[in-house]
Amino acid sequence: MRDVFGFIRLKEGVYTTAQIDASWTMPLWQDFLDWFGSAEEAAEYRHLTWEHELEEARKLAGSGPANDVRM
């Protein structure tokens, strides 16, 4: 679902590939969660949770921009 969201937002010009491929910031996660909660594409996957990923993003929130790439 993160990849689907990423492709959609890249096509819309909302984010760059660098932003999508790096560790997500809390604002990017919030955008994803808002999309995930309402997007038709995500309907069958709403049983998934993102707690682990959100916890990692919260930990990184105070440490400045991330430069790692998610593979």
Q: What is the pLDDT of residues 17-46, one digit of tens each?
A: 999 999 999 999 999 999 999 999 999 999
pLDDT mean over 8-16: 97
Q: Would the pLDDT of 68 be above 60?
A: no
pLDDT of residue 52: 94
Residue 25 · residue 58 · CB < 8 Å: no
Sorted by where each begins, the domain ranges of the chain are 2-61
Q: Would the pLDDT of 70 be above 70?
A: no
pLDDT of residue 66: 54
How many other β-carbons are positioned within 10 Å of the β-carbon of residue 31? 16
3-state helix, strand, coil in the chain (%, to 5): 65, 5, 30
pLDDT of residue 67: 55
